[in-house]
């Protein structure tokens, strides 16, 4: 079991003929993901890595049947691609694209509330269920199949966390990067709920960073749902106020969104805190032992 994706997930790649789209289509196919089609307006009839290309997402769904999509189109057209995926009936849309204007993202977010499609991202590395399916750009080779759910705002720090878990012999049920922008389709709390409902996920690693208030909201949620142990790390403890740390969402303004506040909230909610980024795996082990599920989470 896993969340959101499994071996049966059929994927449409929006922007498949671009450099990034074509490259990652090949990587996803190598990993065993079922990429069934791609979309690039005006390129219907061509193929990328043996995958048929269509002009629109709806055409792709009608011809090859996909339930998920991943977006690699440039920032100026990415918001449109999300609308297109939703209108075509996609269930899960992963938007890798970074740099979508906030005003457009706001429109996307409001439009999607009440719609059945779940958006992951934008500006995210995607989602992976080890040995079954990956959608996005996460490297599959560092993952190990198992029972720990990983949710993070960052890309490479997620890889760091996953590789620490794998090195400790602790496998992952699903890892999901929810994205570095200040507005997201899927929040920490959304991901926590999904992991909570997944019988195969026994513990959760949460990797947050400065800016916004989603980690605090996640802490509130964890407090109310203490069923599965959580380990957490918050990046950016020494970031200066008012400077955007690479991610559009990673900015401390007016004293809000500090690492200190987020760590305090998560610790208060009972999460095991990794004080430094090399201790993420160790923090999870502490949480597992405390909950008495260390053995069942080891591969």
Partner 1 sequence: MKIHEYQAKELLLAYGIPIPRQKLAGTIEQAALAAQALGGQCVLKAQAHTGGRGKAGGVRLAESASRAAEIAGELLGKRLVTEQSGPAGYPIEKVLVTARERIESEYYLAVALNDALACPEIICSGEGGTEIEALARERPELIHHIIIPPESGYCEYHGYEAARPLGLSPERKRRLVSILRGMYRLFVEKDCSLVEINPLAAIREDTLAALDAKISFDDNALFLHPELEALRDPSQEDPNEARARETGISYITLDGSIGCLVNGAGLAMATMDMIRSLGARPANFLDVGGSATAEKVASAFTMLLSDPRVKVILVNIFGGITRCDVIAAGIAAAARHTELSIPLVVRLQGAHLAAGQRILSESGLPIIQAREFREAVEKAVTAAGGERL
Is 262 an interacting residue with respect to partner 1 (CB under 8 A)? no
Q: Which is nearer to partner 1, 88 or 248 (CB)?
A: 248
Active site residue 247: yes
271 DSSP 8-state letter: P
When asked if residue 62 is in the footprint of partner 1 (CB under 8 A), the reply is no
* Binding residues with partner 1: total (CB under 8 A): 66
Provide the token pair at 57: 């997402």
Distance CA 175, CA 120 (A): 12
**In angstroms, rounded to a whole number, what is the distance separating the alpha carbons of residues 123 and 253?**
21
Q: Show the tokens assigned to 163.
A: 């590789």
> Which of these ranges, 39-47, 154-162, 223-231, 287-295, lies near partner 1 under the rule CB under 8 A?
154-162
Exactly one of 160, 190, 198, 216 binds partner 1 (CB under 8 A); that residue is 160
Nearer to partner 1, 160 or 198 (CB): 160
Q: Which two tokens stand for residue 190?
A: 């959304």
Task: Choose which of 15, 21, 149, 235 interacts with partner 1 (CB under 8 A).
Answer: 235
Using CB under 8 A as the binding rule, the residues of this chain from 96 to 125 that contact partner 1 are: 99-107, 109-110, 125
Cα separation, 52 vs 60, in Å, equals 9
The token pair that represents 160 in the structure block = 């760091």
Q: Among 41, 52, 89, 246, indicate the residue that binds partner 1 (CB under 8 A).
A: 246
Alpha-carbon distance 136 to 276, whole Å? 27
- Residue 156 beta carbon to partner 1: minimum distance, rounded to whole angstroms: 3
* Residues in 186-215 that interact with partner 1 by CB under 8 A: 207, 209-210, 212-213
Q: How far apart (Å, rounded) are the C-alpha atoms in residues 197 and 217? A: 18
Nearer to partner 1, 90 or 128 (CB): 128
Residue ranges in the chain assigned as alpha helix (H): 19-31, 57-64, 75-88, 102-112, 156-167, 188-197, 214-224, 259-268, 280-291, 294-297
In terms of CB distance, is 52 or 246 closer to partner 1? 246
Q: How far is it, in rounded angstroms, from Cα 243 to Cα 122? A: 21
Calculate helix-pair angle for 259-268, 214-224, nearest 10 degrees: 10
**Does 163 sit near partner 1 (CB under 8 A)?**
yes
- Under the binding rule (CB under 8 A), the answer on residue 158 touching partner 1 is yes
Does 32 contact partner 1 by CB under 8 A?
no
Site string for partner 1, 122-151 (x = CB under 8 A): ---x-----------xxx-xx---------
DSSP H or E stretch at residue 92? strand 92-95
Instruction: Give the span between the Cα atoms of 129 and 281, in whole angstroms.
Output: 19
Task: Name the one range near partner 1 by CB under 8 A: 46-54, 86-94, 178-186, 191-199.
Answer: 178-186
Contact 200, 132 (CB under 8 A): no
What residues are annotated to the active site? 247
User: By the criterion CB under 8 A, which residues form the site for partner 1?
Assistant: 20, 23-24, 27, 75-76, 99-107, 109-110, 125, 137-139, 141-142, 152-160, 163, 180, 182-183, 207, 209-210, 212-213, 233, 235-250, 254-256, 259, 275-278
């Amino acid at each position: 079991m896993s969340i959101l994706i499994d071996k049966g997930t059929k994927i449409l790649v929006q922007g498949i003929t671009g450099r990034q789209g074509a490259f990652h289509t090949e990587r996803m196919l190598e990993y065993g993901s079922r990429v069934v089609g791609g979309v690039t307006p005006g390129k219907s009839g061509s193929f990328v890595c043996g995958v048929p290309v269509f002009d629109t997402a709806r055409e792709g769904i009608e011809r090859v049947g996909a339930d998920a999509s991943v977006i690699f189109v440039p920032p100026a057209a990415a918001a449109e691609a999300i609308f297109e995926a939703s209108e075509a009936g996609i269930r899960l849309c992963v938007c890798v694209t970074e740099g979508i204007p906030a005003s457009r993202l706001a429109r996307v977010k409001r439009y999607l509330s009440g719609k059945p499609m779940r958006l992951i991202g934008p500006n995210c590395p995607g989602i992976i269920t080890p040995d079954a399916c990956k959608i996005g750009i996460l490297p599959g080779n560092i993952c190990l199949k198992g029972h720990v759910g990983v949710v993070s705002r960052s890309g490479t720090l997620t890889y760091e966390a996953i590789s620490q878990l794998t090195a400790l012999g602790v496998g992952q049920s699903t890892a999901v990067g929810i994205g570095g922008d200040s507005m997201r389709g899927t929040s920490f709390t959304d991901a926590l709920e999904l992991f909570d409902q997944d019988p195969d996920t026994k513990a959760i690693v949460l990797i947050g960073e400065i800016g916004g208030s989603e980690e605090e909201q996640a802490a509130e949620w964890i407090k109310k749902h203490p069923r599965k142990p959580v380990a957490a790390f918050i990046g950016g403890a020494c970031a200066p106020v008012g400077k955007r740390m690479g991610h559009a969402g990673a900015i401390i303004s007016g004293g809000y969104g500090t690492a200190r506040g987020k760590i305090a909230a998560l610790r208060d909610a009972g999460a095991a805190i990794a004080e430094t980024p090399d201790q993420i795996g160790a923090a999870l082990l502490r949480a597992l032992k405390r909950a008495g599920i260390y053995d069942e989470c080891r591969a």
